[in-house]
Structure 1
Amino acid sequence: MNFTDAWRHDETTETLWTNPETDIAILAPHAGDIEFNTEFAAGQLHKLLRKAGYHPTTWMYHGFGENAFDEYHVSSNYLDFTQFTELSRLQDRRFRFGVSFHIHEAGYVGVGGRIGEGIRSEVADRLTERLPNSKEVRYRHDEMKNKGRKESNIVNRITESGDDGLQIEMTPKTSYNYWKRVARSVRDVYVELL
């Protein structure tokens, strides 16, 4: 089903933009109405990295409808490549880095994943520079609820090492109003790493 039909009929669809030679995978596993605007942050990061000369692979799963979260949300720790037609095309691929975008209700922007604290700190610094002063940004695992640290998390599993996934947890307001700033902040760090 294409995006427009999925949106019109409260269904699901996937988007996959793939590059066979990329070092980075960008994920929005809860896009559409599941976790609103996460696909825009992922798509913006994809676009920004392309403009910088990198060509990421990006996968998004869009679920639509008033009850999309309850109907279509699958924890990133339990996502299986074979559950999704387009994601299954990446089953045998691994990337140097993975980045995923999410929403949580914790009241702060979280920069998690298994990737090293130094990189999480750099992303957090860029977010702090770009987001309004009222937005708290956390990157230390012991200060966050949704850490993204589990080996089973798709953003970690998709990396070559299993330890180079970055999970961004936005507040609803951040995702709604500042998704471009979030994407730019992540871009600024990753253009130095790729």
Structure 2
Amino acid sequence: MTEAGIAESPEIAAANRCRLSRRVADDLGKAEDDHVRVECESSKAYFIVDGTHDDAAGLAVNADGLERIDAQAGQTGTVEATVPIESRDRAFVTGDIAETLWDRADADVFITCPHGGDIEYNTDEMGQYLFKKLRARGIAATAWMLHGYYTGQEKDAFKRWHVKKPVKAYDAYPGLRQLVERAFTCRYAVGFHIHKYDYVAVGGRADADLRERVGDAIRGPVPSKYDVETDYSEIALTGRSKQASMNYFAEDGQGIQIELPTRVAYNKFHSLPEAVADVLTEIL
């Protein structure tokens, strides 16, 4: 942790990006595209490092970035190398973010839910339930999740804790760092997310046959008003980045990204992952 004066810079393009002074970057061992935790008196958020600067202020963000941490230019805050805190209970109460890692060295399945808690509600519940169903069937899985929560003032979890590509900045997430540093891989990986579209998408880098198999299985619990799409040409968020966590840890690119409308995630958070578990049980 290091203290830093906060400045406003309109040159920074996105609300979740910041620039660090060379002093702060060196203190924390951070470089471009790394993640940091910024905390002020009344709020906190994660930021992606845009680069470094030689100005006196230790941290520069744009006007929207100031709003994310409820700060004014000229204030002092703290910048930390690690984004999540250890206690999920404390994160819930204080509107913070915590990390969970359930690790099995012999895992055949990796479950990833980086937007759990109030960020994309019930996505971590789906990951936990899938882990439990696989365990009951004798299938070893590793699950990595982040749980970000609202403050008492507003529903701001998505705004402050919706992390982008955490694998690219794994040093900020101790559980993720543990997996990367031991070169963990598994046969299949599944990620659960919420999107703004009115269909269910089964994307990722997994081959078409596997994506269609998962799509067919989850058509049962998904209400008939929602289409289930597996064709990349029909999906807005295809999940094909190699740096997405479900693809990064899956052997031969067999990562599956399931994107859900909010109502489906809210109402089918057990029956849908159970359908995914049925597919994995058949192929393992």
| Length-normalised TM-score, structure 2 | 0.66
Q: Which is strand-richer, 1 or 2?
A: 2
Contact persistence 2:103–2:142 (CA under 8 A): yes
Q: Deviations over 1:147-168 (max 9, x none)?
A: 101222121111122x110001
Contact persistence 1:106–1:171 (CA under 8 A): yes
SS of equivalent residue, structure 2 residue 220: helix
> C-alpha separation between the residues in 2 aligned to 1:148 and 1:172?
18
**What percent of counterpart residues are identical?**
33
1:137 to 199, 206, 228: 228
Unaligned residue ranges in structure 2 (runs of 5+): 1-85
Unaligned residue ranges in structure 1 (runs of 5+): none
User: 2:51 is matched with which residue?
Assistant: none
> C-alpha separation between the residues in 2 aligned to 1:96 and 1:107?
30
Report the Cα offset of residue 97 of structure 1: 1.1
Are residues 46 and 76 of structure 1, via their aligned partners in 2, closer, same or farther at CA, if it must alter by over 3 Å? same
Alignment of 1:159 onto 2:244: no
Given residue 129 of structure 2, which amino acid in structure 1 is its aligned partner?
A: Q
Are residues 71 and 137 of structure 1, via their aligned partners in 2, closer, same or farther at CA, if it must alter by over 3 Å? same
Given residue 107 of structure 2, which amino acid in structure 1 is its aligned partner?
A: T
Alignment of 1:43 onto 2:128: yes
SS of equivalent residue, structure 1 residue 129: coil
> C-alpha separation between the residues in 2 aligned to 1:17 and 1:191?
19
User: 1:31 is matched with which residue?
Assistant: 116
User: 1:110 is matched with which residue?
Assistant: 201
Alignment of 1:69 onto 2:69: no
Q: Which is helix-richer, 1 or 2?
A: 1
> C-alpha separation between the residues in 2 aligned to 1:41 and 1:126?
15
Contact persistence 2:167–2:176 (CA under 8 A): no
User: 1:178 is matched with which residue?
Assistant: 268
Higher relative contact order (CA 8 A, sep 6+): 1
Q: Alignment length, in residue pairs?
A: 193
1:19 to 104, 108, 115: 104
User: 1:122 is matched with which residue?
Assistant: 213
> C-alpha separation between the residues in 2 aligned to 1:107 and 1:56?
30
Report the Cα offset of residue 77 of structure 1: 7.4
Alignment of 1:89 onto 2:89: no
Given residue 187 of structure 1, which amino acid in structure 2 is its aligned partner?
A: A
Report the structure number with the largest CA radius of gyration: 2
Are residues 141 and 110 of structure 1, via their aligned partners in 2, closer, same or farther at CA, if it must alter by over 3 Å? same
| Length-normalised TM-score, structure 1 | 0.95
User: RMSD between aligned alpha carbons?
Assistant: 1.3
